[in-house]
Structure 1
Amino acid sequence: MTVLATLKKALLPCALVLGAVSFSLPAVAFVEEITATFRPDPSNPLSNKFTNTTPQSGMCAWHANAIARCKALGIFGIRYEGFAASSVMPIPANHDDPRKAAYFKVPSSWRDVQVTHAGTGATETLQMRIAAIGTRWDVPRPPGVSGWATPANGWSYYWYVGAPPCQGIGYIAASQAFALFFWTVPEGAGACFVKPGTEFPGMRYSHMEYAYELKTPNPLGMEAGEYTGSVSYTMGPGGDFDFGDAMIPTDNIATFNFTLDVTHILNIELPPGGNRVELLPEGGWQAWLSQGRRPSRLYRDQTFRIAASGRFKMTLECGLVNGNTCGLRNGQGDEVPVQIAVSLPHGLNDQYGQAVNKLPLRLDGSGTELFQATQYLNNRPGTLHFQIEKEDVGEVLKQPGATYSGVATVVWDSEV
């Protein structure tokens, strides 16, 4: 008895792109495009995270101490050359108000950013925070850089080790009238400031070093396509980026546009000859032929290999419909139903988050509307179960030697 089961192979690369939002911005804003991608990596299937593809610059890209520190903290650095800030008052020595000193307060707490699928409107949430800050400052000479010295510390002390709660990375570059520094900023930290020991008649910042940290959504639960989103921060006294009352930046808005690019994989492979399924009693026909013992069922378990990283559904198509499943027919036109079910490997769950074990496949698609990968599975074994149940075996045995056949098409579909 032969059942022909044709399985539709599904190799479905789904490009999921997190694209930049473009809109008109005033000249007093700087805009940064941040991109990240997810593509399943067969060599590292347990890595289910986005990869930040935004080009790095500045300290996190160019200085050995910073490169190591940024990598250890999972933060990404950019040097914004268009930034500048100038003093609108003298920088007094040892003043009680730190806002009149070299003052740096950045949005170091997490900020939610909604990203939206361009095709379906589905939304996800990522999070961002600013995790490091630095710049180049210039001061008049005299007193030059020595004006930062106090009775307790040399002029470079805080610029090198960090002004609490900010933390230095062991870097400073300086001449007699300017210096470059870079500090990391703990989550939720307040302002970091340095007071000079000698009054400066003025001061200027040029370019801005910063690093950001991201928490991206789980790509395995995202649809394929393009997701975009944007977040803006205010700059200036009392803003998200606050440089105190003495230093006024030329920009008053900082905008970050996000593009997430996700590619999913769905691939099914059958072993050679796996599309031809023969249903047999357990142990073969010998017990029936020699002893007349009626089989309790006729069945075949057909293995397949699956690679999957996202959502998919399974449907059934039949050459001969019998109720909510496929039918088999012999030469005389007699028909019996064949029950078809699927078992999926660990890491693929049904819509209720449960493991998939002999889950029936039905023509109406009920029960198999959604399967979700909890991790990227690469070339893992699954099973299709074909069975003529006990109450239908008797019908088959009425005509010994007859062949029942039919075609069943099992579909794995990533368009959920």
Structure 2
Amino acid sequence: MKRVNTVITQIGTMGVALLFSLSAQAAVQEIRATFVPDPSNPMVNRFENKTPQAGVCASFMPARCKALGIFSLRLPELSFVTEQAIEANHENPRQGFMLTLPSDWRDVEVRHSIGETEVVQIRIAGIGGSWNLSRPPGVSAWARPGASWQSMWQSAPAPCMSTNFLAAGASYAQFFWLMPEGGGACARTPSVTIPYFRWSGIDYVYELRTPNPLSMRAGEYRGSLSYSIGRGMDFDMGDALIPSIDTVALNFVLSVEHALKVDIPPGGNRIELLPDGGWQAWLDRGRTPTRLYRDQTFRIAASSRFKMQLECSIVMGNTCGLRNGTGDEVPVQVAVTLPGGIDGQGDQAVRKRPLRLDGSGTELFQPLFYVNDRPGTLHFEVLSDDMREMLNRPGSTYSGVVTVVWDSEV
């Protein structure tokens, strides 16, 4: 028996093609996630976000970001400035500091080079940065009766949620607020008119939901999502704050690296078919064997879907054959048993699944988790009716070559 297997299927990363031109009106950022099967954690089968973090999650609250499952990026191209004064005690929140974020989940289609698609989901989960204002009045302009200006910015207004982060001077402050899913507008109103206000150094955090990598083809999947910035847009900061850019485009790159490895013990590629108990019972007592067979074990590691195929040096119908020196032929039946955790279509365990030349029944096997170095069995058998023909020719040796293929290209 000859064994063919795919050891590692991997497509290296490449530079990202920008789908939007870089200009004063747009920013482009990349979000990259990778799946590589981990033999030490075979039940953990999910993408790992490889996007370098910048801003608040990298510098000020890495533990909290990790606990919340959020990631931060900085938008150096984006800033907001006022074109007119922010009036004290204004009634319309849109006339002062206000923010609304695209906090609901959005679907992003990512596509493999051969056309297969999956869906990534993302939501914006918080925002912050540094603001500067005229002095006078300075930071105290944000104080309210019974509340210091620090408490007004360290504690976020509903529906935003506080991170308790605040760093400040006389005319500037750095803050960060979180936004729950489905959140609305968060606003602050000064008690003293502010002639000029600028918000820059903006960080935002996002949550990411990725598809099941075990059902995906090896290689890279790419997609893009654009958020609009401005009045009434995805990032809506009210009427008083004017953005420096009007779009941020997120380019997604999901890289999938799969493992498919099959090991057969030394000598396992030479199969000798024998009856139960060997030939001695027939030789001593003339007891006719009921079958000739051999079960050959192998070990498999698989994180991706695969198929199995049969190839034969002697073809007999939909299976392989064995031939003796005078040209007599008998068919040999080949089947496979795969370890638990590999689905044989329709949530079926794979137990003595026949291998046929046309591939029927073995065209798709799907690991339910990373199956790492688990035992399986190849079953070879000459059935009793075919074996009787062999017994009529004592002293003959029947042989043939059977090739079993494990193929990740499904």
Q: TM-score under structure 1 normalisation?
A: 0.95
Match of residue 213 from structure 1: 207
Cα distance, 1:19 vs. partner? 6.5
- Tell me if the contact between 1:9 and 1:411 (Cα under 8 Å) persists in the aligned partners: yes
Q: Indicate whether 1:83 and 2:78 are aligned.
A: yes
Per-residue deviation, residues 390-416 of structure 1 (Å, max 9, x unmatched): 221211211233221111000111111
Distance 1:126 1:18, change over 3 A: farther
Match of 2:156 in 1: 162
Q: 2:369 aligns with which of 354, 367, 375?
A: 375
8 Å Cα contact 1:230/1:256 also seen in 2: yes
Distance 1:19 1:186, change over 3 A: farther
- Distance of 2:396 and 2:331 partners within structure 1: 16
Q: CA deviation at 1:54?
A: 1.0
* Partner residue, 2:192: 198
Output the CA distance in 1 between the equivalents of 2:155 and 2:272.
74
- Within-5 A mapping of 1:293-332: 293-332=287-326
Question: Shift of residue 105 of structure 1?
Answer: 0.8
Separation in structure 2 between the aligned mates of residue 134 and residue 372 of structure 1, nearest angstrom: 44
- 1:161: how far off? 2.4
Deviation at 1:154, TM superposition (A): 1.1
Paired residue secondary structure (1:56): coil
State, as a whole percentage, how many aligned pairs show the same letter: 56
- Counterpart Cα distance in 2 of 1:291 and 1:300: 23
Aligned equivalents of 1:342 and 1:299: distance in 2? 13
The CA deviation string for residues 185-222 of structure 1, in whole angstroms up to 9 with x for no partner, is 11111111112222212211112110111111111111
* Unpaired runs of at least 5, structure 1: none
Structure 1 segment 266-305 matched on structure 2, within 5 A: 266-305=260-299
Q: Which moved more, 1:292-301 or 1:209-218?
A: 292-301
Equivalent position of 1:41 in the other structure: 38
Distance in structure 2 (CA, Å) of the matches to 1:103 and 1:176: 22
> Paired residue for 2:355, among 339, 351, 361?
361
How do 1:321-360 residues align onto structure 2 when only pairs under 5 Å count?
A: 321-360=315-354
1:106 aligns with 2:93: no
Residue 9 of structure 1 is aligned with which of 5, 19, 32? Answer: 5
2:383 aligned to which of 383, 386, 389: 389
Alignment of 1:169-180 (within 5 A): 169-180=163-174
1:96 aligns with 2:87: no
Q: Tell me how far apart the structure 2 counterparts of residues 260 and 24 of structure 1 sit (CA, whole Å).
A: 19
Q: Cα offset for 1:334?
A: 1.5
**Would you say how many aligned residue pairs link Structure 1 and Structure 2?**
409
- Mark the runs of 5 or more structure 2 residues left unpaired by the alignment: none
Question: Mean alpha-carbon deviation: is it higher for 33-42 or for 233-242?
Answer: 33-42
What is the CA–CA distance in structure 2 between the aligned matches of 1:211 and 1:67, rounded to whole Å? 12
1:50 and 2:54 matched: no
Q: Is the 8 A contact 2:336 2:377 kept in 1?
A: yes
Q: Are the equivalent residues in 2 in contact too, given 1:148–1:155 (CA < 8 A)?
A: yes
Q: Tell me what 1:31 maps to.
A: 28
- Amino acid in the other structure paired with 1:335: E
Indicate how the Cα distance of structure 1 residues 158 and 277 shifts in structure 2: closer, same or farther if over 3 A, else same: farther
* Distance in 2 of aligned mates of 1:157 and 1:86: 23
Q: Does 1:140 align with 2:126?
A: no
SS in 1 for 2:322: strand
Which among 57, 62, 70 is matched to residue 59 of structure 2? Answer: 62
* Aligned equivalents of 2:106, 2:5: Cα separation in 1: 42
Is the CA contact (8 Å cut-off) linking 1:326 and 1:337 kept in structure 2? yes
Q: Is the CA contact 1:28–1:251 (under 8 Å) kept in the aligned structure 2?
A: yes
Q: Tell me if the contact between 1:17 and 1:260 (Cα under 8 Å) persists in the aligned partners.
A: no
1:395-406 correspondence runs (5 A):
395-406=389-400
Contact 2:335 2:352 (C-alpha < 8 Å) held by counterparts: yes
* 1:168 shift after superposition: 1.9
SS of equivalent to 1:150: coil
Partner SS, residue 389 of structure 2: helix
Q: In the alignment, does 2:221 pair up with 1:224? A: no
Which residue of 161, 176, 181 corresponds with 1:182? 176
| 1:17 Cα offset (Å) | 5.1
**Cα deviations across residues 25-71 of structure 1 (Å, max 9, x unaligned)?**
242111111111111111221221111111111110011xx111110
Deviating beyond 6 angstroms after TM superposition, the runs of 4 or more aligned structure 1 residues are: none
Q: TM-score, normalised by structure 2?
A: 0.96
SS in 2 for 1:210: strand
Q: Indicate the RMSD between aligned Cα atoms, in angstroms.
A: 1.5
| Inter-partner Cα distance in structure 2 for 1:387 and 1:366 | 19
